[in-house]
């Protein structure tokens, strides 16, 4: 019985942490800008990362989130971390 209660409490704590630490739209946009500058210095200098980040659409799932542009997923995030899936400017 105690083991079931402990498991339920740990599960609830992880779920609450995921909700609280879900990255915001601004966090996603900053990561997209940063990734663009790192992957293509010319695109970063021209501000293409900022433009792509601006036109991206933020989607929250409560415990995780992602951004899309032109039907492609640009980034996803959970627990305060954001990962850019592809080069936001070139799509590769």
- Alpha carbon dihedral 86, 29, 33, 66, in 10-degree steps, equals -10
CA-based torsion, 62, 66, 69, 71: positive or negative: negative
- pLDDT of 36-83, one tens digit each? 888 888 877 888 888 888 889 999 999 999 999 988 999 999 999 999
C-alpha torsion 43→47→51→56, nearest 10: 60
Per-residue pLDDT, 12:
96
pLDDT in tens, 17-26: 999 999 999 9
Residues with Cβ within 8 Å of 82's Cβ and at least 6 positions away in sequence, in order, are 23, 27, 28, 31, 75, 76
Whole-model pTM? 0.82
Q: How far apart are CA 19 and CA 43, in angstroms?
A: 33
- The whole-number average pLDDT for the span 2-23 is 95
Spans of all domains in the chain: 2-84
């Amino acid at each position: 019985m105690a083991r079931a209660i402990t498991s339920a409490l740990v599960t609830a704590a992880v779920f609450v942490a995921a909700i609280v630490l879900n990255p915001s739209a601004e966090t996603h946009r900053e990561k997209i800008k940063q990734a663009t500058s790192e992957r293509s210095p010319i695109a970063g200098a021209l501000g293409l990362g900022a433009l792509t980040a601006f036109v991206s659409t933020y989607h929250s799932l409560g415990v995780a989130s992602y951004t899309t542009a032109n039907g492609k997923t640009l980034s996803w995030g959970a627990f305060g971390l954001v990962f850019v899936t592809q080069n936001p400017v070139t799509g590769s």
